[in-house]
Structure 1
Amino acid sequence: MMELGAELDEKFAGLVKNCMVSGSIDQGLYIKYDVKRGLRDSDGRGVLTGLTEVSDVVAMEEDGAGIRTPIDGKLYFQGYDVEKMINGNKKKRFLFEEATYLLLFGELPGAEELESFIKILGSLRELSGHFVRDVIMKSPPENLMNALQKCIVLLYSYDENPDDVSVPNVLRQSLQLIAKMPMMAVYSYYAYRHFQLNKTLVVRPPKKELSTAENILYMLRKDRQYTELEACVLDIALVLHAEHGGGNNSTFTNHVVTSSGTDTYSAVAASMASLKGPKHGGANLKVMQMFADLKANCADYADEGKLAEYLQKILDREAFDRAGLIYGMGHAVYTNSDPREVMLKKYAYRLAQEKGMEEEFRLYDTVERIAAKLIAQKRHLFKPICANVDFYSGLVYTMLDIPMELFTPIFAIARISGWSAHRLEELVNRGKIIRPAYKYVGVHKDYHEISER
């Protein structure tokens, strides 16, 4: 809060009160005018606002009579089942680059196409010393999502043709962003540690021949060492976070901003602003904070009865942040299961075994099971409640020794592939500027001179 002095502080408090009164709308009007709040129908389904071929998020099946039944969730990239892509990777290749190629170009690459694509990304990974010094190292914010936004916006100044929105130029910009995001995120963390926490400043450049997942671990670790399983699990996490339909908040933001005709850096920065929010990409941080609070305040969390009591207090707004939410549980689309969570949970268990953290994994597994039942009871739901991908992603990153400050930036490193694919799709199809309607429900007033007010 800004400090204005006692008299002006009182005046400012009055302005806040006026703002609250002015901004308040009769909630009944939303029902009267059938407003699709959150762009959702009354049953929670998203309002159809566009078409896409980039990915498909499936949670229901519909019969000939139009009756919809929940099914185990499925996620498709350009028509390909992501679960089958991951399980079918018999040669244990790193898949994030392959998934990125698929999202951008619509088909899985052949061996030569993939090799060429990986070389292109590798050649684009470097950041100039001027950019690192003049952008990343100056005034690093505590929240690294803001640091990444700053980097993305200022890349505009380093681009010789930033405002060209032709498909070839936007593809070039997209590939550069996909390649450079890991460095911008990790270097921003270096700067934060040095200038905010007074730690030694060490900047480790990436290796062109390494995958995105390998490079993140390579740059973050002092000894630059990581196990095959560690790199594999991070790679899977990147694939699962790379894309999730055109309707998620940050991707829809990208469509909206792109439709205005603006430049790539502005569109991606807008998506970053959306992803930062705790209701979207920042959710895994809330999960980790919730578990820390659980351990501090639940007398015996090994006792399922005590654990259920604590979780009930969260739902009753008596514990943690008093929001009444068990973070990581529930999803806007999935009901039976989130396929990303199902896959990531398997790899989280393997990693827990390697790290000797089976007990921690069992705690998460137990909370997931109990929370689903408690939420259904609390909300009088007849459909199942599933954990979403955020429930285990923070645990995975913790086991990988990735600092908490980088949790949401890791999400962004992955999702830039999906944002790029959707931005290109919006440009190729030359859609209209996106402009939904807002109904005015205030009253028209007569104007009076200031002396008469």
Structure 2
Amino acid sequence: MEKKQKENALWNQSMEQLCKEYRMNNHIDPENFERFKVKRGLRNADGTGVVAGITQICNVHGYVLDEGEKAPIDGELTYRGISVTDLIGGCVRENRFGFEETVYLLLFGCLPTAQELHSFTQIIAQYRELPDDFVEDMIIKAPSPNVMNKLARSVLALYSYDDNPEDNSLENVLRQSVQLIARLPSIMVAAYQVKRRSYDHKSMYFHIPKQEQSVAESILFTLRSDKHYTDEEAKLLDLCLMLHAEHGGGNNSTFTTRVLTSSGTDTYSAIAGGIGALKGPRHGGANLKVMEMLEHIKAGVQNWEDEEEVRDFLRRILLREEGDGSGLIYGIGHAVYTKSDPRAIILKRNAKKLVEGSPFEAEFHLLERVEKLAPGVFAQVRGNDKPLCANVDLYSGLVYKTLGIPQDLFTPLFAVSRMAGWCAHRLEEMTTTSRIMRPAYKSIASAQGYVPLGDR
């Protein structure tokens, strides 16, 4: 302990000077990005993404180009050409779970027959079990305060338990993909239980899921101490998993997975990279930021039903006077969707039914006011009248909260769902593209000579 304190003291003494040195030698004038026509964030000047590939897996459609200008339209999301609204609607009408069917569709490119779906669901259930001693050696012995980091580490660790980890043939990567999709929920719940004991000083408990349970049912069954859940709760979680399963090749985590795949690396390394990208608050961590923002609004607005008071608080968030100081209204706006995010529409409709008459109803209506007022506040403060809509993160956190899911699992649940999309894109990158991704960076470093150490 004393040695560590001395090391920390030495570093703290040096940090101010080292940071000063870094800032002095690493500034890039923002005008250079315009001068050299650099597309920051791989975005075109109008905010659209730079086209980096072709895919058959998913289409995210949020605007049309009219004489070079973006014209807003209602958002559309399709998996393998099938509207996600229709996909979910079909499962709801037949009162059945749909995530396993969604996984099959994304991986193989077609809807399964009843027999194919039954067999595939059984395979996923059989693969849920983690390797012998995995939980003890990889999770219990090395707890993490953040479940996302534990997911990434555990996925990398599975490499050591695979008899054929380096084989990138279609047959082997398909096996690895289905195993990862099946195992990640088990890893997530185990990592959370260990986090509870090690960091929250609460009891942890491990339940063995039943073979006949869907992915959504198995998550609720193993997560809750009493193993109890209702069919309505499980089907709502299933709907969330379907909505988050895929969102095109250009989203940050999927693109990360494809970039790593293009290098020829193994499945576990590529997927762990996707998990790391999803953790970021600008990506998968946004639903957690929405709930943090909601707490700020609840504390700073006396009358939640007073639109003027809510509007003023949102204005102060944009001015970095309230909230987390980022100047962002989380859950509002999207890189592609303009008039509406179809995922947000579906979640909002189901959240409304869920919260009616519950203690969460007032919070739901407060989020509705944020959705209604935020575009006008943006226009007033930023002078930008481009259309803004609620995105999927605005309501997903509240849905998870009503299901009794802890905030520690908001982003990990996103990863559990998105594993299907990551694996589908990895397979597509492997089988249709044969070039490593290698974009260019413009160097603006000035030439200088080497100075001997004694002359500096």
- For residues 378-427 of structure 1, what are the alpha-carbon distances to aligned partners after superposition, in whole Å with 9 as ceiling and x for unaligned? 22233321010000010000000001100000000000000000000001
Is 1:54 the counterpart of 2:53 in the alignment?
no
Please give the secondary structure, in 2, of the residue aligned with 1:431: coil
Q: Which residue of 2 aligns with 1:36?
A: 39
Contact 1:3 1:9 (C-alpha < 8 Å) held by counterparts = no
Q: Which residue of 1 aligns with 2:286?
A: 283
Q: TM-score, structure 1 length as denominator?
A: 0.97
Q: Which residue of 1 aligns with 2:73?
A: 71
Which of these residues, 186, 210, 213, is aligned with residue 183 of structure 1?
Answer: 186
Contact 1:218 1:226 (C-alpha < 8 Å) held by counterparts = yes
Is 1:351 the counterpart of 2:354 in the alignment?
yes
Contact 2:288 2:397 (C-alpha < 8 Å) held by counterparts = yes
Which of these residues, 430, 433, 438, is aligned with residue 436 of structure 2?
Answer: 433
Report percent identity of matched pairs: 49
Q: Which residue of 2 aligns with 1:298?
A: 301
Q: Which residue of 2 aligns with 1:416?
A: 419
Structure-2 separation of matches of 1:308 and 1:2: 47
Which of these residues, 132, 153, 172, is aligned with residue 156 of structure 2?
Answer: 153
Structure-2 separation of matches of 1:12 and 1:205: 48
AA aligned to 1:36 is K
Please give the secondary structure, in 2, of the residue aligned with 1:103: helix
Is 1:22 the counterpart of 2:25 in the alignment?
yes
Give the superposition deviation at 1:354: 6.6
Please give the secondary structure, in 2, of the residue aligned with 1:71: strand
Structure-1 separation of matches of 2:62 and 2:449: 52
Give the superposition deviation at 1:144: 0.5
What is the total number of aligned residue pairs between the two structures? 452
AA aligned to 1:70 is P
Give the superposition deviation at 1:272: 0.6
Structure-2 separation of matches of 1:52 and 1:352: 38
1:205 to 1:7, Cα distance in 2 relative to 1, 3 A: closer
Q: TM-score, structure 2 length as denominator?
A: 0.96
Give the superposition deviation at 1:104: 0.3
Is 1:239 the counterpart of 2:230 in the alignment?
no
Give the superposition deviation at 1:356: 5.0
Contact 1:330 1:386 (C-alpha < 8 Å) held by counterparts = yes
Contact 1:376 1:384 (C-alpha < 8 Å) held by counterparts = no
AA aligned to 1:249 is N
Contact 2:139 2:194 (C-alpha < 8 Å) held by counterparts = yes
Structure-1 separation of matches of 2:185 and 2:200: 21
Structure-1 separation of matches of 2:212 and 2:11: 59
Please give the secondary structure, in 2, of the residue aligned with 1:88: helix
- For residues 195-231 of structure 1, what are the alpha-carbon distances to aligned partners after superposition, in whole Å with 9 as ceiling and x for unaligned? 1122222111111211111111111112212122211
Which of these residues, 237, 260, 267, is aligned with residue 270 of structure 2?
Answer: 267
Which of these residues, 155, 165, 175, is aligned with residue 172 of structure 1?
Answer: 175
Which of these residues, 69, 81, 97, is aligned with residue 83 of structure 2?
Answer: 81
AA aligned to 1:343 is I
Q: Which residue of 1 aligns with 2:455?
A: 452
Contact 2:249 2:255 (C-alpha < 8 Å) held by counterparts = yes
List gaps (5 residues or longer) in structure 2.
none
Structure-1 separation of matches of 2:6 and 2:24: 23
Structure-2 separation of matches of 1:33 and 1:111: 55
AA aligned to 1:79 is G
Q: Which residue of 2 aligns with 1:366?
A: 369
Contact 2:131 2:161 (C-alpha < 8 Å) held by counterparts = no
Query: What CA RMSD, in Å, does the superposition of the two structures yield over aligned residues?
Result: 1.6
Please give the secondary structure, in 2, of the residue aligned with 1:75: strand
Q: Which residue of 2 aligns with 1:227?
A: 230
Q: Which residue of 2 aligns with 1:198?
A: 201
